[in-house]
Amino acid sequence: MVMGGDRTFFDYLNINFQYYLRHVTNYSDPQAIADPLLRFAAIQTSALWNQFSRSQHGVSVRASNKWLNETLEGEIAAVASFGRSNYFIRPKLVYAFTDNVKGSLGLDIYRGESSTFFGRLRDNSLLFAEMKYGF
């Protein structure tokens, strides 16, 4: 289930907020598996698929704005899970050099305990830059 809202204020300030809930009816806790090898595999699989409990919930937020006659756009997007403290944040700036050429600079930041979905991706946090040409 996802509930949320999206609203633009003034001319360019856009705010998006979503709450999500995922419930698995036939969930089996991988920690309860007796065989240690099978339990290890089940725990790794639950981390890979972000399915650590019967019910999971969290929020996603995105805010963006434009300046300088719409040539500069800034945004920040984030996702956070409740219960298992882990999150993802992506701040990004985009500059339109021309109608066809845009440059971007941003970060992907993954945080959380090493056993969480985003925590497992912590070493994949990065700084990125891109140039786009559209025709």
Laid out side by side, the sheet with 72-81 consists of 2-9, 13-23, 55-67, 72-81, 86-96, 101-112, 126-133
CB 68 within 8 Å of CB 86: no
Percent of the chain whose pLDDT exceeds 70: 100
Residue that wins the pLDDT comparison between 32 and 5: 5
What are the strands, taking DSSP E only, across the chain?
Answer: 2-9, 13-23, 55-67, 72-81, 86-96, 101-112, 126-133
Q: What is the pLDDT of residue 69?
A: 94
Of residues 29, 21, 87, the one with CA closest to residue 53: 29
pLDDT confidence of 47, banded at 50, 70, 90? confident
For residue 126, what are its two tokens?
């990065």
CA gap 67, 95 in Å, rounded: 10
Residue 45 or 65, more confident: 65
Average pLDDT score, the chain: 93
Question: What is the rounded average pLDDT of the residues 23-51?
Answer: 86
Instruction: In whole angstroms, give the CA distance from residue 40 to residue 2.
Output: 31
Least confident segment among 40-44, 52-56, 120-124, 131-135:
52-56
Residue 50 pLDDT level (bands cut at 50, 70, 90): confident
pTM score, whole prediction: 0.82
CA-based end-to-end distance of the chain: 38
| In the chain, domain spans | 2-133
